[in-house]
A and B are shown apart, each in its own frame.
Chain A
Amino acid sequence: MADDTVVGSAATSTTRAMFDYAPAPESRSVVDIASSYGLFIDGEFTDPVDGRSFKTISPASEEVLAEVSEASERDVDLAVRAARNAHTKVWSKMSGRERSKYLFRIARIIQERSRELAVLESLDNGKPIRESRDVDVPLVAAYFFYYAGWADKLQYAGFGPDPRPLGVAGQVIPWNFPLLMLAWKIAPALAAGNTVVLKPAETTPLTSLLFAEICQQADLPPGVVNIVTGAGETGRAVVAHPDVDKVAFTGSTDVGRSIAQTVAGTTKSVTLELGGKAANIVFDDAPVDQAVEGIVNGIFFNQGHVCCAGSRLLVQESVAQDVLDRLKRRMATLRLGDPLDKNTDIGAINSAEQLAKIRSLSDVGEAEGAGRWSPACDLPQHGFWFPPTIFTGVSQAHRIAREEIFGPVLSVITFRTPAEAVEKANNTPFGLSAGVWTDKGSRILWMADRLRAGVVWANTFNKFDPTSPFGGYKESGYGREGGRHGLEAYLAK
């Protein structure tokens, strides 16, 4: 620089005070958490028959949040009876227009109580408030609004002139998007005229129970929505109950397989939304800075606890180093910590069990010779934490390229040609989603035709919309949720 009095040098900048973001925690006081919760059956919170309960904790601090009832087979039976009764006497007789009023009312209450729901979701699940506030809860309301609109238009949905509800739906949902998965299940079921018995995951029951309060607030007829909390046993009881007409499950492929076995030979219809090992494919002509954002969003969104996470980065060899350098620089700016801090990007791993699984698969990756890298990152003392991690030099033969890790761990694989990218992307037992990054529109369409994945995102990733169907190929499950297609799973033709 010719004139140092005008423009400072980069050297002096190292001594400058840094722009440290002060803590900006969202207030916990917006939500009242009861010390214990009953089961929500027939419109009331009731104690479980045998009085068993379990604790739900905050994964960020391991603090106990509440005592939650554990539903036994008998409790599930009561819930299914309540749902059947409500279906026969009230809900199936009600006009679509009346049903839609209840759904619209629920959607509006969700919006009104969005802050409360977001804080509770972040407390119980560990996800950053930025995501629960800006992604989860707005989508929850959007799904209810969307399906509310369908309730009086079912005869125009393309499933016959007079589509009828199936009856009672037994629904089991996972812990990664507790409230959003509830919305994906309950909104279309109710719109189509079914009643539901829903079991939330044992580590994240609280927002489902708050949703039960919202059903009361909306004056939803008793028994239309029943929430039974518990673990695997409770879920099995819901799925196996003889009076359940429809089973809907989102979760691991192993559990999905056993559900398929349970319902085999019965008249129950089933939709399963299971695991994934999605390829996020970056071509050499990709908009590179946005592709890096898409990679970050693909695998580090919700700590990688996303069934459609872009856990395999397929990057064209000619730009691999540049993309990796940019990715690492970007990862160094991710802020890990208190999920309730509004500036947190990466929250806590949902449970000790999940953390152990992520650790063990990451250790396998290292043992198999892949290069492991994480940015410098202080992990909090309490709670369950895992730093954002990438593995380079991964080949198709590595376990971390094949098995779902369900954590903030990315496997980086290179390819040379579009055909090789397709081949590698499809070379997995899963087929839930994929991403394609290129400036060339024709190549996006060419790829989308060949990728065996339920969702293919073009120059974006992890985007959800109630109008868009979502679901998998192969071991990622069957059936579609969302959109007009999502109604089909809840209608008899």
Chain B
Amino acid sequence: MTALLPDVAEVTSSDASLRRFLHGLPGVDQVGAEARAAELATRSIKTTAKEFAIDLAITMVDLTTLEGQDTPGKVRALSAKAMRPDPADPTCPAVAAVCIYPDMVGVAKQTLGESGVRVASVATAFPSGRAAREIKLADTRNAVAAGADEIDMVIDRGAFLSGRYLEVYEEILAVREACARPDGSEAHLKVIFETGELQTFDNIRRISWLAMMAGAHFIKTSTGKVQPAATMPGTLVMLEAVRDFRDVTGTMVGVKPAGGIRASKEAIRYLVMVNEIAGADWLDPAWFRFGASTLLNDLLMQRTKMKTGHYTGPDYFTLD
């Protein structure tokens, strides 16, 4: 598009100039954004299109367990599921990643080995992000050192909501640096906004641009610990942001809605939205993910239904 390329160095030179830039982004009309998301949800995805969408959705799942009660056993089971979601059907693709707490990275890494399923670790005092900067960075470095391929950080929502944008920006930059490995490569950084706490669509658009300018590889809606988690209209605004960001900078950023997406039908609606808002380039696990746990079994059940023509019960799919 014809929007001007932001000079990131200039925009981020002070809190005032970053604020001017973010508040100069076009507003989002809530009623209109919600209506657009609802309209896209009426697309009817059947037969071959549904098969395509279900398999694609499986490859996009970040299979997640983020509980205080997580154990190595639980994480090993989840990792096994991630590699072979449907043991009865070898044609079923693996998911994109398992998403876990930092102390479980080693266990997951060991189980997943060279399977191609990635290990994503939350970090930065997930889910609240209420800790000192050094602790957040140490949390990140620890997860990377343990072998995490991807880091899911949370932003400081308090700083954002009180208008300290530069602080949020600098923290993302610092975490991105902490994602570096000794060999020069880096873990990929997903930045969680917790849109349920930011609440307005204007805020979601602003934080999207802020995070992308700070070098996020992915922007992610939620931790899953706050309601509402991912919503269609919130994700729509983020998809518009990554589309516009590529138009002006040439850089593609991924999007990950997380939390609350449990049914195949909902996942397919998200894929329709990706297709029609951001474009087909984003229909790839490299650029779009679902943060979910129960979604996977519903996808598998629908997949089996498409192949065999009848539904089987939940007992025919593994609970891990």
Contacts and interface: CB of A to CB of B under 8 A. Distances in A.
Given A19-B49, A333-B276, A459 B31 contact: yes
A213 interface: no
A162 B275 CA distance: 58
Nearest to B283: A19
B32 A22 contact: no
A293 B35 contact: yes
A7 B217 contact: yes
B1 interface: yes
Given A289-B28, A322-B3, A459-B32, A24 B188 contact: no
B32 A293 contact: yes
B27 to A, nearest CB: 4
Given A285-B27, A322-B1, A10 B36 contact: no
A51 interface: no
A225 B288 CA distance: 56
A290 B44 contact: no
A343 B39 CA distance: 10
A21 B283 CA distance: 14
B305 interface: no
Contacts of A288: 26
Contacts of B185: 2-3
B49 A22 contact: yes
Interface residues of B, number: 45
Contact of A24 (B46, B217, B275): B46
Interface string B247-275: 00000101000000000000000011001
B118 interface: yes
Interface in B29-64: 29, 31-33, 35-36, 42-50, 52-53, 56
A58 B2 CA distance: 42
Contact of B284 (A8, A20, A286, A293): A8
Contacts of A459: 29, 31-32
Nearest to B118: A6
Among B32, B50, B185, B240, which residue has the most Cβ atoms of chain A within 10 A? B32
B46 A16 contact: no
Contacts of B283: 13, 16, 19
Interface string A1-38: 11100111010010011111111100000000000000
Contact of B44 (A24, A286, A321, A326): A24
B194 interface: no
A25 to B, nearest CB: 9
Contacts of B35: 293
A293 B37 CA distance: 11
Interface in A24-58: 24
Contact of A13 (B31, B48, B284): B284
B21 to A, nearest CB: 15
Interface string A238-267: 000000000000000000000000000000
Contacts of B53: 19
Contacts of B29: 287, 290, 459
A294 interface: yes
A287 B27 contact: yes
A460 interface: yes
Interface string A276-292: 00000000011111100
B186 interface: yes
B2 A286 contact: no
A403 interface: no
A134 interface: yes
Nearest to A330: B276
Given A16-B284, A22-B47, A342 B2 contact: no
Given A2-B186, A325-B1, A21 B45 contact: yes
B174 interface: no
Given A6-B118, A342-B42, A290 B49 contact: no
B226 interface: no
Interface in A408-453: 439
A460 B46 contact: no
B281 A13 contact: yes
Nearest to A8: B286
Interface of A: 1-3, 6-8, 10, 13, 16-24, 130, 134, 285-290, 293-294, 321-322, 325-326, 333, 342-343, 439, 459-460
11 contacts: A7-B287, A8-B284, A10-B281, A13-B283, A16-B284, A22-B45, A23-B46, A134-B42, A285-B27, A287-B28, A287-B32
Given A19-B56, A21-B44, A285-B26, 20 more contacts: A2-B185, A3-B185, A3-B186, A6-B150, A7-B254, A10-B252, A22-B48, A23-B46, A24-B45, A24-B46, A130-B42, A134-B42, A285-B27, A290-B29, A293-B35, A293-B36, A294-B32, A322-B2, A325-B1, A343-B44
**A-B CB proximity, top 9 nearest:** A290-B32, A24-B44, A8-B286, A342-B44, A287-B29, A290-B29, A288-B26, A22-B49, A22-B47
